[in-house]
Structures are given as C-alpha cells and as structure tokens.
Amino acid sequence: MMSKDIINTADKVIAATYTRPPIVIIKGKGCILWDTEGRTYTDFVSGIAVCNLGHAHPRVSKVISAQADTLFHVSNLYYTVPQTELASWLVEHSFADRVFFCNSGAEANEAAIKIARKYFSEKGENGRCRIIAMEKSFHGRTMATLSATGQDKIKKGFDPILEGFDFVPFNDADALRRKIGDSTCAVLLEPIQGEGGVRFPDPEYLRTVREICDETGTLLIFDEIQTGIGRTGKLFGYEHFRIEPDIMTLAKALGNGLPIGAMLTREHIAQAFGPGAHATTFGGTPIITAGALEVLKVLTEENIVEHCQEMGEYFKEKLLWLKSRHDIVEDVRGIGLLLGMKLKTNGASFVTACMKKGFLINCIQEDILRFIPPLIIEKEEIDSLVVCLDEIL
C-alpha cells in the first residue's frame, strides 16, 4: 500500500484518539526514522521518551529474537529467569526491595494506588485511603489514573470520576501540609512534571514533601514513568533531590519500546501484596523482561546516563541561546534530555515546520515545545535542530 492508502485506511479503521501528521514511519536506526517516501527525520520525540537507546538497538534486538526462539510467555503462575533477573537489577540499582511488573505506565500507577490503600487496610486503618496528587500532573488514562491526574481536559466526559483523590499545586509544600489529613494514605507526584509542562521543582520542595510524609506516616509515591531510566541525567529522577520515595512507578523507557511497566517498593509495603492481592497475565513476561534487562545493561555499560547529562547541558545552553535571539520564546526549562521551550504563542505550527525540515519534536500544553530525543543523541544532531529552530522561530 502507498502511504496515502495507509493514511486513508488508518483514518477509517483506527480509533481517532490521535491527530497525526500525514507521514507513515517504516524504519528506524539510532536517532533517525524513515517514512514510506524515503524521507528521514531526526527523532526528538523517542516515541514519547521511550526509545532512550534509539531505534533498533542491535544488542536489544538480538536478545529479543533469541528469547523469541526460546520462550515468549508462561504467565506469572511460574518462575522465569528474565523476570527474576530484571527485578534483581532494579532492586540493586534503586531504593526498592520488590518489583511488581505490568504492561504500561497507567497499570504501574494502578498498582501503586492499590498497594498504598491495601497497606493501610492491612494495618486496620481502613479509612486511610485518600491520595493527594498534584495539579497539572499526568498519571495515565485508565479510570483510576485519570482520576489521579490534575488536568480537567483528561477527565472531561468520563464521569463518575473515582473518589479519593485530592489536589494541591505542585511545588507548594504549604498547600500539601494543609491538605494532608487522617484519611490520606499517600502523596503521588512526578518529581519533575512531564506532560504538565516540563516543570522542575525547587529541590527544597521535594525534601519538604518527604518530611511531611515522614511526620504523618504517609506513603510517598513517585511516578517516574517519564523521568526514570536515565532521562534526566540520573538513572532515576529522585536522585537529583537526595531523597527516596516509598513507592516508584516506571514504564516508558524501561523497555525502550517494549510494553512494560513496573511498581517498585520497600519490603514492609510490598507485604501488602500477598498471593491473590493483585495480578496480571502478561506482566513481566519473558520476552519483554529479557529485552528490558538488556536495555538497562546497555544503558549502564555504555555510560549513556552520563552522556545524557552532558548532552542535556549542551542542549539547554543552545535553547537559552535561542531564547536570547527570539522574543517569542518565553522560557526554557527541564533537565537532562527532558527539555521544554515555552512560547508566547501556540506551538503546533512549529512542530509542522520542524517536520518539514526533517525533525520530529512535539508540543505539550499548546505552547511548550518538548525535546525528548534518544539519550544517545550527539552534539551534531542537536546543532542541526537548533539551526532549524533558529530559522523557523
């Protein structure tokens, strides 16, 4: 089929939940994508902060195909090697003692919400079930996770929204202190907000949130679905703040494009998830966990997190240079390779203009251009995008 036919068919048979540009992507290698017309694009989206190692990474592809020849799936009724090895890796490299695997970010947050409530219910504190989340947060599109999301546009039309979620402004510890009460079981937040506009909080803020949770015995849940796995220049975003959460969720880059989510927590909390308490058919299946483990090995063995930090600093400087040259740029924000440029106008036309010049970027909250390239991006590729932005701004 020609790309025109693909687009026409897709527009008929696929749920129209996304507005897409008229290109059909057929191949990727590293930071480059090809469409059906033979055009190439440098990818500053990474499938929404997913393909941290770029596309078609040879080591990951090799492991997946070897695992495909050996064992795809047996369910969680049995022990498997890749799942055990991946959980061990995550436990070894984080604050956590145990991991629950699932298939997406929303499911990881569902598990976090459930375990926080179950933890207090097991202790006999049944009324302690409310969760405080942040305004402008994003936690997913399932009923519980959209109920936990602090953006009205995501909830609109889906009433009744689930009970039990309260909201306070992000980066406002006093507001949290006022809201937290006897019925609060957990505080849920992204240490650096992603979809809400790439917002990095004051370092003091998260330390104060940790203190408030400690004083009140409330669980602290970090949604690191976007900030985890090296994206911010540290393996996990919380490492920037010298504190640790009680529960953390991962997904996006964990599988570099393989569908996987994970909920990580400490032993005493993990006890609340005994046999039968929570379950999933696919979660942590061998083919996916084998791939994800290789992703993490490449990330650490090839010092990609350090590279991300270096490229992130370089890129941010360039964006600040663009701000100094173009009045239309209001603000440059973010850390590592989770960067945003807030414009004084709608950003959609800039996304299209970049695409025409061979760069994929995306726009969030209508006026923030977001740059989330593969972490293996090099200075030359950043320079080319900056030249393109300089022309179109």
**Residue 106 makes contact with ligand PLP by CB under 6 A:** yes
Rank residues 251 and 319 by Cβ distance to ligand PLP and give the closer one.
251
**Residue 316 makes contact with ligand PLP by CB under 6 A:** no
Q: Is 252 a catalytic residue?
A: yes
Separation CA 312–CA 385 (nearest Å): 14
**Residue 46 makes contact with ligand PLP by CB under 6 A:** no
**Residue 226 makes contact with ligand PLP by CB under 6 A:** yes
Indicate the pairing of strand 130-134 with strand 184-189.
parallel
**Residue 110 makes contact with ligand PLP by CB under 6 A:** no
Other beta carbons less than 10 A from residue 296's beta carbon = 21
Q: Are 227 and 201 in contact (CB under 8 A)?
A: no
Q: Is 4 a catalytic residue?
A: no
**Per-position x/- string for 252-281, each x denoting binding to ligand PLP as judged by CB under 6 A, each - no binding:** x-----------------------------
Length of the chain: 393
**Residue 50 makes contact with ligand PLP by CB under 6 A:** no
Reduce the DSSP state of residue 138 to 3 states and report it. Answer: coil
Query: What separation in angstroms does the CA of 326 have from each of 142, 294, 313?
Result: 40, 42, 20
Per CB under 6 A, the list member of 129, 212, 225, 343 interacting with ligand PLP is 225
Rank residues 190 and 381 by Cβ distance to ligand PLP and give the closer one.
190
Q: E strand or H helix at 339, and its extent?
A: strand 338-343
CB of 50 to ligand PLP, least distance (A): 9
* Sign of torsion over alpha carbons 195, 197, 202, 203: positive
Selection from 382, 365, 364 nearest residue 373 by Cα: 382
Report which residue's Cβ sits closest to ligand PLP. 105
Per CB under 6 A, the list member of 28, 47, 105, 255 interacting with ligand PLP is 105
Among all chains, which residue has been given the structure tokens 């009460």? 181
Per CB under 6 A, the list member of 191, 194, 201, 286 interacting with ligand PLP is 194
Separation CA 185–CA 30 (nearest Å): 43
**Per-position x/- string for 66-95, each x denoting binding to ligand PLP as judged by CB under 6 A, each - no binding:** ------------------------------
28-32's contacts with Cβ under 8 Å and 24+ in sequence apart are: 28/54, 28/55, 28/56, 29/54, 29/55, 29/56, 30/54, 30/55, 30/56, 30/374, 30/376, 31/55, 31/373, 31/374, 31/376, 31/377, 31/381
CB of 191 to ligand PLP, least distance (A): 10
Per CB under 6 A, the list member of 195, 294, 367, 381 interacting with ligand PLP is 195
Separation CA 132–CA 302 (nearest Å): 38
Among the listed ranges 124-132, 158-166, 189-197, 320-328, the one in contact with ligand PLP (CB under 6 A) is 189-197
Among the listed ranges 133-141, 329-337, 360-368, 375-383, the one in contact with ligand PLP (CB under 6 A) is 133-141
**Residue 190 makes contact with ligand PLP by CB under 6 A:** yes
Could you give the maximum distance between any two Cα atoms of the chain, in Å? Answer: 62
From 43, 172, 223, 246, active-site residue: 223
Among the listed ranges 138-146, 330-338, 357-365, 382-390, the one in contact with ligand PLP (CB under 6 A) is 138-146
Query: What separation in angstroms does the CA of 97 have from each of 89, 163, 187, 264, 266?
Result: 11, 30, 20, 7, 5
Q: Is 159 a catalytic residue?
A: no
Rank residues 44 and 138 by Cβ distance to ligand PLP and give the closer one.
138
Q: Which residues form the catalytic set? A: 138, 223, 252
Which residues sit at the interface with ligand PLP, rule CB under 6 A? 104-106, 109, 138-140, 190, 194-195, 223, 225-226, 251-252
